[in-house]
Each structure stands twice: as structure tokens, then as C-alpha cells.
Amino acid sequence: MNGPEIFKLTRLTGVWLCLVFLPVWGASWAVGILIPNILSELGKESSSQSLFMFISDLCKLLTPILSILVFIPINAMFMVLFERRALAIFTVRMGPNRTGFDGLAQTAADAVKLLFKEDITPTGADALLFTLAPIIFFAPSIFGALPLLAAITGNHELFQIVNLPTGVFYILAAASLPVVALVMAGWSSNNKYSLVGGLRAAAQAVSYEIPLVLALVTVCLMAGSLDVVKIAEQQAGGILNWNILGGGALTGLDKAIPALISGNSAEWSATLAKYYPHGFLSALATVALTISSFILCGLYLTSACAEINRIPFDLPEAESELVSGYNTEYSGIKFAIFFLAEFTNLFIVSSIATVMFFGGGGNPIPQWILAMLPMEQISAMMNSLLDIPINKLQLLDPKTFWNAFWVIVKVYSIVFFAVLVRGTLPRFRIDQLMDFGWKRLVPLALITFMVVVFARVAVVCHAG
């Protein structure tokens, strides 16, 4: 163990998380709450009240977009630095520790460097497609993330507008777009390595989208909804309700445990009978659901890794084979956009996993443990202490705050896991990659799908 380095990484994470989320929080509050409130105050005395109303509504509508636009670049900077420092710890190195205080400003400096670099279009390249490719690569990661915003803020009224009844479908549609950009980038660069990289990206994305979609579809089947907010809300109330553990099959147990603790055996058996109506078959189905949803989470994380081209599936940009794959010829700001989008995709994939499998913004502590603590008193005390920011300024909404807190913890844990994988595994070969996708993951996904279809009948799940 490398104590000092781990401490430095923790410090860096803390500082940068503040740098990432305070601006987002502030911007959302300013545009979504402060300005509309001021406008409506002014509008009361003004003659043109409807104009003020219109502008204040427009501000509210723009809040989700604004928060994402503020969030993505800063977050990507943080994630690059986080990955470099964490990898340095795994690989007995130091990592960037000079720029700014202990390397905190390294990625900011890198970003500035990339912005000022010459933007080269190679001879013989298709200039239009060459320029469009990074944009098309980056755009889906912005609008694909929108429905998630409602789910991870606990359906805050400012973000309800971006929620869709078919959110999962929309996210998947957006997630399948970037591959077009990769093929475009590979082809338009007029470079053979880029071309091979682009073609690899296409083959890989097509093969791994199937297990990815099957995994998410099975979760939607368990939840009985395509609405990400609904899926996240169903999982509230502790770790036993999360989709990674049975997709609601353990909810009955979660509900029955308080009765067991208080010694009320009649209520215990009544609750169990309500949620597990078929006795032994229900128990069997619960076990099956728990195992298969765990597998589904693994399937999702594996194929998501392949979707966003991370080690061990980073074949489109395999450094030791294809120099840098599809982005070999890119430099300056275009390369920066590719880089930005890659890390944003990692973040979005982790947020999807959080919402679909890890209970969204819900805390992992079961309700019956929370019930033992004086939570009411604590929250009342906090409310009176922070009266001004919570009630007067509406700067701090406790529900949204805790949602965001747990989302941050969960998402960055998954990101950390991805970094750990990157620090451990070698790369697949392209034919082995295809074998793994089509011969292992797709059948496994289909089998779990069938198991879930049948096992769900015997248990009262979230949807039931």
C-alpha cells in the first residue's frame, strides 16, 4: 500500500469534485431559481408582465442544458487527472504532480495546450467529414445524458422537463450514434491505420451493442417501465431493492425484516406471503432473479466497456498496433473533443449503470436501519440550521442534495473500477473479441432474459 499517494489522490478527488459540482450547482440555481424569482418579483409591478413570465420560463427550460454544458468539460478534466493519478498508484509511478498544487492543474494546462495547438487537416483528407466527426462523436454524449439528469437529481422540478417516458430507449439510441463518427473519422483521415481503427470500431460496436441492450431491456422488463426516473425511484429504500440484487425480488424481504426484528411473526409471515405467493417456487425464483440480475450487471459493464473502447476492448485505438487508431491524424481542438467525449462517455455509461442497477440517487442503507436512528430530529436540526439557504434562497434542496451525493459516490466508484480494470488487463485480439461477444455474451444475455421472464412470475417485483 502506498499511503501518501492514496491520501494525495483522495485530496485531489475532493478538491476537483468541489470544482466540478459547485459551478454546476451554482449555475443551475442562478438560472433555474434566482433569475426567474427576481423576474417574477419585477414583473408584478411592471406593465409587460407576460414578457417577464416568458423570460423566466425560458430560463427554467434552459437549466438542464446549461448544467450539462457546464458539467461536461470540467468533469472530463477531473476524470483525466483522476485516472492518471490512480493509474500511477497502481503502477508504482508518481503521476502528474507538478503543475499547480500537487498536479491539480495538470489537465487544465493540457486543455489550454490543446486549444492553442495548430489544427491540421492532412493532405487528401475529406475536410468536411474530418471536421464533422469529432462533433458527431461528442454531441450524443450531451443529449444522450439528458434523461439521466432527471433520474439522478431525484426528479427535481427543474429537471423534470428532460425526462421521457421512454428514456432508456432514447439513451440507447443516442449511445449507438458515436460509432458513425468513428467510421467517419477513420475513413476521412486518409490514413490506413485510421481506416482499420474505424472499421474495428464499427465491428465492435455492432457486436457489443446487442448484449448491452439485452441487459438493459431485461432490467426494464423487471421494472416494467422504460422511464429512468421511475426505475430509479422503484429502487429507493436501501441496497436490497437495487436492481443488481434481484431487481425488486428482495423487496418483500426488505419489507418483512422490521417485523422480524420487532418479533411480530404474524406480520412477518403475512408480508412474506404477500410478496412471495408461491412458497418454494417463489424462493427459487428469488434466487434465480438475484443471480441473473447480478450477471446482467456484469454483462452491462463488460459490453459498456467495449462500447466506449476502453481496455481490454480498446482495439479501435490500439496503440501498439494502430498507432492511435481512428484519431491518429487528429490534433489540437479536434483531438481534445475526441478525448473529452471519451471520458464523458465513461461517465455517462457509469451513470446509466447507477440508475439501472445501483439504485440511482437512493442511499444503500435499508430503511429499517435508518428507522433506528433519529433521522427526523437530525433533518429538523439541519433544516433550522441551514434555514436561509434551504428555505429563503432555495439554494439547497435536501432531497436533491442527498440524491446527488449518492449518485456521485456510486458513479465515481464505477469509474474507479474501470480505471482498475485498465490498470490490470491486456488487450483482446479482434477475432477473440468477436468470439467473446457473439459466443459468450449474447447467449448469456439471452439466457438471463429467459430466466428473468419466467422467474418474475413467481415473485411480486417492483412493478407488481
Partner 1 sequence: MSTQEATPNALPKLKTDEMVINMGPQHPATHGVLRMVLTLDGEWVRHAEAVLGHLHRAQEWQGQNRTWFQYQALIDRVDYLSGMFTSWALCRTAEVLEEQTIPERAEWLRVMVSEMNRISSHLLWLGTYLIDLGAMFGFPFYPFREREKLLDLFEEVAGQRMMFNYIRIGGVQRDPKATWFQRLRKFTEEFNDRVDEYEAIVTENPIFLRRTKGVGILPLSLAKEFGVTGPSLRGSGSNLDLRKTKPYSVYPKLDFNVQWLDKPEGGDTWDRYILRIREMRESNRIIQQCLDMIPEGPVITKKQIAGLRVKAGEGFSAVESPRGILGCYVTSNGSDKPVRFRWRNPSFCNLSVCGKLLENHPIADIMAIFGSIDVILPDVDR
Q: Taking CB under 8 A as the rule, does residue 319 contact partner 1?
A: yes
End-to-end CA distance of the chain: 48
Q: Which residues contact 16 (CB under 8 A, 6 or more apart)?
A: 77, 78, 81, 82, 104
Q: Taking CB under 8 A as the rule, does residue 424 contact partner 1?
A: yes
User: Minimal distance in Å, beta carbon 135 to partner 1?
Assistant: 27
Among 61, 427, 446, 463, binds partner 1 (CB under 8 A): 427
Q: Taking CB under 8 A as the rule, does residue 322 contact partner 1?
A: yes
Give me the helices (H) in 276-366, please: 280-307, 319-322, 332-357
Nearer to partner 1, 196 or 228 (CB): 196
User: Minimal distance in Å, beta carbon 320 to partner 1?
Assistant: 4
Contact track, partner 1, 75-114, x by CB under 8 A: ------------x--xxxx---------------------
Stretch that binds partner 1, among 1-9, 44-52, 308-316, 354-362 (CB under 8 A): 308-316
User: Dihedral angle at the C-alpha atoms of 204, 208, 210, 216, nearest 10 degrees?
Assistant: -150
**Helix or strand or coil: residue 212?**
helix
User: Minimal distance in Å, beta carbon 307 to partner 1?
Assistant: 18
Nearer to partner 1, 284 or 421 (CB): 421
Contact criterion met (CB below 8 Å) for 455 and 293: no
User: Dihedral angle at the C-alpha atoms of 28, 31, 32, 35, nearest 10 degrees?
Assistant: 140
Neighbours of 383 (CB within 10 A): 12
Stretch that binds partner 1, among 19-27, 298-306, 428-436, 440-448 (CB under 8 A): 428-436
Residue 414 grid cell? 464505477
Contact criterion met (CB below 8 Å) for 461 and 249: yes
Q: Taking CB under 8 A as the rule, does residue 431 contact partner 1?
A: yes
Q: Taking CB under 8 A as the rule, does residue 232 contact partner 1?
A: no
Among 47, 48, 123, 320, binds partner 1 (CB under 8 A): 320
Q: Which residues contact 154 (CB under 8 A, 6 or more apart)?
A: 360, 361, 399, 400, 402, 403
Q: Taking CB under 8 A as the rule, does residue 314 contact partner 1?
A: yes
**What DSSP state is assigned to residue 464?**
-
Stretch that binds partner 1, among 8-16, 122-130, 383-391, 426-434 (CB under 8 A): 426-434
Contact track, partner 1, 394-423, x by CB under 8 A: ----------------------------xx
Among 77, 148, 150, 318, binds partner 1 (CB under 8 A): 318
Question: What is the separation of C-alpha 97 from the centre of its chain, rounded to a whole number of angstroms?
Answer: 28
Question: What is the separation of C-alpha 265 from the centre of its chain, rounded to a whole number of angstroms?
Answer: 41
Q: Taking CB under 8 A as the rule, does residue 440 contact partner 1?
A: no
Element (DSSP H or E) covering residue 241: none
Cα torsion angle, 19, 20, 26, 31, sign: positive
Q: Taking CB under 8 A as the rule, does residue 71 contact partner 1?
A: no
Among 11, 192, 278, 440, binds partner 1 (CB under 8 A): 192
User: Minimal distance in Å, beta carbon 333 to partner 1?
Assistant: 23
Q: Taking CB under 8 A as the rule, does residue 312 contact partner 1?
A: yes
| Closest to 220 (Cα-Cα) out of 247, 254, 252, 253 | 247
Q: Taking CB under 8 A as the rule, does residue 2 contact partner 1?
A: no
User: Minimal distance in Å, beta carbon 322 to partner 1?
Assistant: 8
Residues found near partner 1 in the complex (CB under 8 A): 87, 90-93, 192-193, 196, 311-312, 314-315, 318-323, 422-432
